[in-house]
Amino acid sequence: MAAVASRIAGVKGLADAGIAMVPGEYRRDSDPRQCVEIEEIPVIDLSDVEKCSPARILAIDSIRSASRDWGFFQVHEHGFPEQLMANMMELVHDFFRLPIEDRSVYYSEDSSSKFRMGTSFIPSKETRRMWQDYLHQACYPPCEIAQLPTKPPSYVKISTAYAEAMNRLAKRVLGLFSESLGLESGALEEAFGGERHAMRMNYYPPCPEPELTIGLDAHADPNGFTILQQDTRVKDGLQILHCGAWVPIKPLPGAFVVNIGDQLQILSNDAYKSVEHRAVVNSERTRVSIASFYGPAEDSHIAPLAQLVADEAPACFKESVYGNYLQSFYASKLDGKAAIETVRY
């Protein structure tokens, strides 16, 4: 029972208790790969991309280049309401400010739960935990309103408005990805066979010894692609693996980070690749990020698109059912790009 209570309290409980040292279950060996400060990842302007125009052509070309060279890029002028972005960020802070008694009713380690609070990744199976608590919310298919918190009072209104606006943005980005691969704008949407969209709201409180732990282990996302809102109040958090080194992705006010997921790598037949990334923590202030995972319907069969397979470019991956792929991913520890290698020829 004490172990379960500890998991429910999460790292927020440890931070609130004012601990001076990181507990043993959070300590880990340092990553031998160095962290380097280099120029920013590509930043792509999405204004005026709704029609056939030079701006749309430039955005598609930029997405193609960024997807091949980085697997990550940032987008601005995307039309997403900036006030809604700010409100959602504050909402996550407000939820984790609630007393543990109000938050604990949402704790679950069931990855199929449509709304849940959790800590680390799969703490009951981990020998080394991550310095992170989170909320998970299914967006499409959506949660029942009754499953969502009544505290803070604005939770339902703000989170559902954010999910709806993000779903519209994700569909626009999906069409641009499709065209960047030389396909019709609806080709990837058709291949998705529907949609699965979920949010993970990550909460990283201050850590007394941040160099001894990690906020989120290195991994590639299992979905189609991810749209991430970073916390502009904290300089360092997200890092991506590029050319064998960790590269910090500095948050830009009003921008979202977009990254390739495994399903887009499979559908593109390795033209675009999902990229390992991780989150580091700091000792000074809480950092929040909001990740929106967009992907196929769970019953969709995903394989390289026929248009992207040829004698000189044979299929690199076996067909898999997306729901089964997700179940396998969430049943294992985060481990780089190990998931996609299970379906590679």
Give the pLDDT mean for 265-287: 97
- With bands split at pLDDT 50, 70 and 90, how would you rate the model's confidence at 138? very high
In the chain, the DSSP E strands lie at: 43-45, 72-76, 115-119, 133-140, 196-204, 216-219, 225-229, 238-242, 245-248, 256-260, 277-279, 287-295, 301-302, 320-321
DSSP 317: B
Domain that holds residue 205: 1-342
Q: Residues 171-175: what's their mean pLDDT?
A: 97
Three-state SS for 90-145 is HHHHHHHHCCHHHHHHHECCCCCCCEEEEECCCHHHCCCCCCCEEEEEEEECCCCH
Question: Residue holding tokens 């007394």?
Answer: 208
The residue with tokens 């699965």 is: 196
Q: Tell me how many helices (H) and strands (E) the chain has.
A: 9, 14
Is the pLDDT at 128 greater than 60? The verdict is yes
Nearest partner of 303 among 258, 272, 344, judged by Cα: 344
- Which band of pLDDT confidence, cut at 50, 70 and 90, is reported for residue 50? confident
- Segment 304-312 shows an average pLDDT of 96
Is the confidence at residue 199, as pLDDT, over 90? yes
CB 34, CB 245: distance < 8 Å: yes
- Average per-residue pLDDT for the chain: 95
pLDDT at 38 over 80: no
Give mean pLDDT, residues 243-265: 96
Residue 21 predicted with pLDDT over 80: yes
Place of tokens 């802070």: 93
Using 50, 70 and 90 to split pLDDT, how confident is the model at 25? very high
Residue among 196, 149, 141, 199 nearest 174 (CA): 196
Give the residue-averaged pLDDT of 1-22. 88
Strands 43-45 and 72-76: parallel
Structural element, H or E, at residue 170:
helix 155-180
d(CA 177, CA 193): 16
| Distances 236 to 230, 286, 339 between C-alpha atoms, Å | 10, 11, 27
Average pLDDT over residues 114-141: 92
Domain count, the chain: 1
**Residue 126 confidence (pLDDT):** 81
> How many residues does the structure list for the chain?
345
pLDDT digits (tens, 9 = 90+) for 219-250: 999 999 999 999 999 988 999 999 999 999 99
SS3 (DSSP) at 4:
helix
pLDDT band at 337 (very low <50, low <70, confident <90, very high): very high
pLDDT at position 30 is: 86
Position 283 confidence tier, pLDDT thresholds 50, 70, 90: very high
pLDDT at 178 exceeding the cut of 70: yes
pLDDT of residue 226: 98
CATH number at residue 311: 2.60.120.330
Q: What is the model's pTM?
A: 0.97
> In this predicted structure, what is the pLDDT of residue 315?
97
Under 8 Å between Cβ of 95 and 155: yes
Rounded Cα gap, residues 147 and 156, in angstroms: 10
Query: Can you give the pLDDT at residue 1?
Result: 55
Q: What is the mean pLDDT of residues 144-152?
A: 96
pLDDT above 70: residue 2: no
CA dihedral 323, 128, 114, 300 (to 10 degrees): -10
pLDDT score of 37: 81
| Token pair of 330 as six digits | 């969430």
* Burial degree of 247 (CB within 10 A; 0-12, 13-18, 19+): buried
Average pLDDT over residues 82-93: 98
Torsion of CA 241, 247, 251, 252, to 10 degrees: -100
- Does residue 129 have a pLDDT over 90? yes
Q: What's the pLDDT at 51?
A: 75
- What average pLDDT score do residues 64-72 get? 97
Average pLDDT over residues 298-317: 97
Sign of CA dihedral 4, 5, 8, 9: negative
